Structures are given as C-alpha cells and as structure tokens.
Amino acid sequence: MNAFSNHFPYPSQRMPVMAKNMVATSQPLAVQAGIDILRKGGNAVDSALATAITLAVVEPTSNGIGSDAFCIVWDGEKLHGLNASGRSPAGVDSAQFGDATQMPLWGWDAVTVPGCVSAWVALSDRFGKLPFEDLFQSAIYYAREGYLVSPITANAWADIPDEYYNFGDFSSFLPNGRPPLAGDLFRFPDQAATLEAIASTKGDEFYKGGIAKRIAEAAKNAGAKLTAEDMAAHQCDWVDLISVEYNGVELHEIPPNGQGLAALIMLGILRHHNVSQYPVDSVDSLHCQIEAMKLAFADAHRYIADPAFMDVSVDDLLKSDYLAERSTLIDMNRASLPVHGSLPKGGTVYLSTADQSGMMVSMIQSNYHGFGSGIVIPGTGISLQNRGAGFSLTEGHPNQFGPSKRPYHTIIPAFLTQGGEPLMSFGVMGGPMQPQGHAQMVVRTVDYGQNPQVASDAPRWQVMENQEVALDNGYGEEVRTGLAKKGHVLYSNELDPSFSMGGAQLIQKVDGGYIAGSDHRKDGMAAGF
C-alpha cells in the first residue's frame, strides 16, 4: 500500500507530512517534545513517552498524571500490546450504590487506580534507549515555567461541568477562579515536583511511596475505599493483541477490557459487504458502515468486560461463521435496531510515533471525561480519572461493578499490518467514537485509497447510545435526506466537532519513511525529520 491518493476533496489547511522520523498528536508542544527526544538519539518508544508525559501537562482537559493508558508497539519485528488500565479498589461492594441504575460520573466512586505512570515505566524498561528521567524534561519545564494554553484546549477548559466546582482542590486548575483563556500562561509547579519524583524513582513514588500515601489519605478523608494497598497492588499487563483480516490488511487492537473489539467486529461484518462498490461519502456507503457498527456495539456493550469476568470469549465473537451470520442482518434499504448475538457463555489524548529504524508506537491515555472525576490530590497536580463510570450496575452483567476489577474502557490504540509487515499506526480519540473512528479510517485508507491526512480531514459519522446517528458538518443535505429515508434517526442536537467526532492521528509506513496526518479538529500537528 505504498501508493496513496494525491486528491484532497475536503476543506483543510493541512497537507500530509512525510519524513523518516515522525510524531503526531493533538498538542504542538507535545509533538516537539517527542521530536526533541528523537533528535537526541531516542527511539520511537522514548519519543512516545516524552510526548505522552508532556501531554499530561499541556492538555489537562483530556489526560493527566492520574490517567489510564494503552499502547501498541511495533519493535521492528513484531507487535506488543500493553494494558495499563487500573482496577477498582479491593474494598468496594456493588451494594454501596443501593437502587441506582447507573454508575456515578464524578467523585471518588468513579475513581479506579490510575495506570498511565505504570505504562511509562513498563515501556521505558522494555524498549527505551534513553534514561527514564530524560523523558520528563519538557513536561517538567512546562509545569514549572508555564505554557500558553492552546485554543481548543482552552475551549474545553471553559466548558467544564458545574460538578467540578464542587471539589475544592479542583481550584488549582482555575487560576484567578476561572479557566484560563487561549494564550494565557498556565503554571502548575506542584505537577513539576510530582513528575520529578516519578522520574527519579521510576514510578515507585507514585505507587508505593509518598504520592501513593497522599492519594490514599485523600481518599480516606473523603470516606472513599481507595487505599495505599490498592495503589501498591497495581500492575500493567503485556497482552496478546486481537485482530481481524479486512480486504488484504489486518487491524490489531488491545483485547478487552478495551472496546477495540467493536472495531474488529464491525470490519469482520463489513468484509461481507463490498463497501468500495459505493462512492465514497455516499448514502449507501455510510448506511452499510453504520449498520455494521450498530451490530458491533450491540455485542460490545453486552460482552466486553474485564477479561477475567467475560462470559464469552473474544475468539467466539470474531469467528468467521458468526460474523458472516451477523452480516446478513444488514438490509441496504432500511436502518435496523439490532440486539446482541447469542453465543456460548465463556477525554482522551492519542499519539503516534515512528523512527527510521522501523519502530512504531500507537499510544493513548485518558482521564475519560474532561479532567476526570473532579478529584485533585492536594499539592500534587494529580487529577484522578473517572474510569469507574464505565462499570455496569446491572446484576449479573460481566462488567458489573465489583472489587479489584477493570471496567469497560473506551480508550484504544490501533495498528494496521499487511502481510505481517507494519502499515499504519493510528487512533481516533473521543470516547465511544473511537472504534467507529478506527473502522472509518481503515475503510477510507484501504477501500478508498485516501492518504492519512485526507482520511483525517474527511467528515465522520457516529452511532450514538440510543442508535441515533450523528453526522459531521461536512455531509450535505443529500446525504442527510438519504439516510433519513432509509430510517436512520439523525441526531438533532448541535455537536462540537472538536470533541464529538474525535481527533485522528495517523502515521503510515511507505518506502523510505512515513506519511502522517493530524486532525484539524484538534490543536495538534504531525512533524518529522
């Protein structure tokens, strides 16, 4: 797939970037941090970590030191997967929510052990070339000396929910009592001190030392269940990736508890329908993709959970016969309201890096909703994610809230190979948009031959929780009318495309180097040398 289209049909001010070494993410300062590490002799993993650690400072509206993370690494010969999501406290009990039917979104009950610091350590230990402390220099500098807040990040800061104002320590993210504006200088020296402690102890201070004790003390003071023992017990896991073949390429995803399985199911269904026979962005092309995604989500929401608690296997969900059977449920003339199949029991940032040796990294870390739970640990600059909100309170559901358990996770990195060789490292940040975005990027690059920047620029669709369909602004009235005639209920509320349609970052391997695209919906960029 070295050939790519030079046709640019969508409104954009960006061109794809081509180089032998590459970084793409949603914030320019973080991109530069990753480039600096590459120029200092670091590899793609070192670069990814410097980028990720800097993102925790300069894009706090989506991620932070208290985030979770997942990563896929092509080491030059094979793929490796890392699940650095945290588990619920050992002392919790589903009965604590009484008759509630939905997990809380804010506060300590939504907090699981933060995992991204463990990802930084594990990736550096296994693949890094440079000293761990060197990867923190840019992030520590921006935390201590400050950075000018970028426009889309400022918009997200200004749009924080009222609930955050109920948490007193969240005021540390509100200088002068308000969110910073675009171009304001924002400093957070407490974050610099925390990052220095993490860097000098290779994460031990965070999980077993003074920082862990401060997190546990804050939880105890609030009557929450998270303890120092929960922090110390955390570990990230190297995992075998799951994959599906689609029209000559293989899409690889992190296995559950992540939702990447949904993208694989969609493409496994879609390979029984020749999407390329329909014009790109046409009503029939979109209808076919949307219907496949609905079927995939019906299964994902029923079956995905902490793998130790799933009642069906991933292999069963990806069996060719099962996917072929599910594909017959797509009616090209009308929209459906599918349910899950029957089987035997069994606020996010994304970045991609690549270096001239052939190493490529697909990595994502997230607070979940904005700054996360609203809990900020005093004197540390750590905002804790609210990933516990991903649990179910349905009795008997495999994803039911319980002790020492990982919740259904929305954040997922992706990787494409062809014939066992690397083809593209990519991701699309944005909650439930992520598997939908992954599948749309594959369809655009594989079926329609679009280059990474064009695939990123293109309008997107999203199946919403109630199976309404949201359409990006780039789709015209003809498409909207055509989908409505097929029975699709179009989402009528106004959406901010900067967040609702995700932020794609893509690095595709070509002869002699890479070609990258970075989403115009975010502040970021792709850069290389």
Domains recognised in the chain with CATH numbers: 18-235+353-390 (no CATH), 239-348+411-510 (1.10.246.130)
Two tokens, residue 125:
């230990």
Residue 214 is given by DSSP the state: H
CB atoms inside a 10 Å sphere around CB 302 = 18
Distance CA 10, CA 219 (A): 49
Nearest to 369 by CA among 111, 181, 187: 111
CA dihedral of residues 387, 393, 394, 395 (deg, nearest 10): 120
Question: What's the token pair of residue 206?
Answer: 């965070």
Taking only the tens place, the pLDDT of each residue in 175-212 is: 999 999 999 999 999 999 999 999 999 999 999 999 99
Query: Are the beta carbons of 271 and 249 closer than 8 angstroms?
Result: no
Our measurement of the distance from residue 363's CA atom to the centroid of its chain's CA atoms, rounded to an integer in Å, reads: 8
Q: What is the DSSP letter of 59?
A: -
Give the Cα separation of 402 and 92 in Å (integer).
Answer: 6
Report the alpha-carbon distance of residue 190 to residue 209 in Å, rounded: 17
pTM: 0.95
Spatial CA neighbour of 300 closest among 341, 261, 246: 261
22 DSSP 8-state letter: E
Question: CA nearest 142: which of 264, 36, 22, 293?
Answer: 36
Integer Cα distance of 256 and 410 in angstroms: 10
Low-confidence ranges of the chain (pLDDT < 70): 1-6, 340-346, 497-498
Q: Any long-range contacts for 193-196 (C-beta under 8 Å, 24+ apart)?
A: 193/380, 193/381, 194/65, 194/380, 194/381, 194/382, 195/53, 195/57, 195/65, 195/136, 195/139, 195/140, 195/143, 196/136, 196/140
Q: Write out the E strands in 40-174.
A: 68-74, 79-84, 147-148
CA angle 284, 290, 293 (to 5 degrees): 145
Q: Is 506 helix (H, G, I), strand (E, B) or coil?
A: strand
pLDDT tens column, 316-358: 999 999 999 999 999 999 999 887 665 444 378 999 999 999 9
Give the list of residues 6+ apart from residue 381 with CB closer than 8 angstroms, or none: 64, 65, 143, 172, 188, 190, 191, 192, 193, 194
pLDDT value at residue 346 = 39
Of 509, 440, 366, 409, residue with least CA distance to 74: 509
Q: Which three-class secondary structure state does DSSP give residue 40? A: coil
> Smallest Cα–Cα separation from 226: which of 64, 382, 1?
382
Tokens encoding 322: 């099962």
Nearest to 203 by CA among 137, 133, 294, 305: 133
Residue with tokens 């495999």: 398
Residue with the two structure tokens 């994460």: 203
Q: Name the residue among 1, 67, 55 with its Cα closest to residue 30.
A: 55
> Which residue's entry shows tokens 């909703």?
369
> CA distances (Å), 164 to each of 100, 196, 422, in order?
22, 27, 42
